[in-house]
Amino acid sequence: MSHVSRNSPDPRRPAAPSITKTRYGTSMKYTIPSDFARGREVQTQILDEVQNFKYNSDSVFAIKLSLEEAIVNAIKHGNKLDMNKKVYVEALVGPDQVELTIEDDGPGFTRQDVPDPTSPENIEKCSGRGILLIEAYMTSVSWTNGGKKMIMIKRND
């Protein structure tokens, strides 16, 4: 039977987030394993900060949906559920906008290669709608680092 000291960090738990508050907003940085429960914890903390800035309900909904989809995509499609691979999440939350950056350790992808889920041949497929929803709800969305990093911005309209 192995023993983990109380002082030893649990490798299944995310590292403590880096949170910096300034008069302009809050910067939050997380590194988590490819684990959906850890992703939900990060989401909750970011959404709590969005609520602190009194975002309207439409913006909160857009941020919640898009952040969840992006983290799930990073874990499931990017890292292929490999617990040894990490997901990196950054949030810059201010009174006027939220900037979210999600990056995974996967091979990346090309946005143009993702099939259109609204085309007749894909309409009954259960996957492929997350990116479409993110692009519909966020103010701007872009990919860098070969498709491994997504940057989303939502203005508080």
If one compares 9 and 73, the residue with the highest pLDDT of the two is: 73
Identify the structural domains of the chain with CATH numbers, from first to last: 18-155 (3.30.565.10)
Write the pLDDT tens digit of every residue in 115-153.
787 888 877 877 778 999 999 999 999 999 999 999 999
Q: What is the mean pLDDT of residues 103-111?
A: 93
At 47, which helix (H) or strand (E)?
helix 36-52
Q: For the whole model, what pTM was predicted?
A: 0.86
Write the pLDDT tens digit of every residue in 34-89.
999 999 999 999 999 999 999 999 999 999 999 999 999 999 999 999 999 999 99
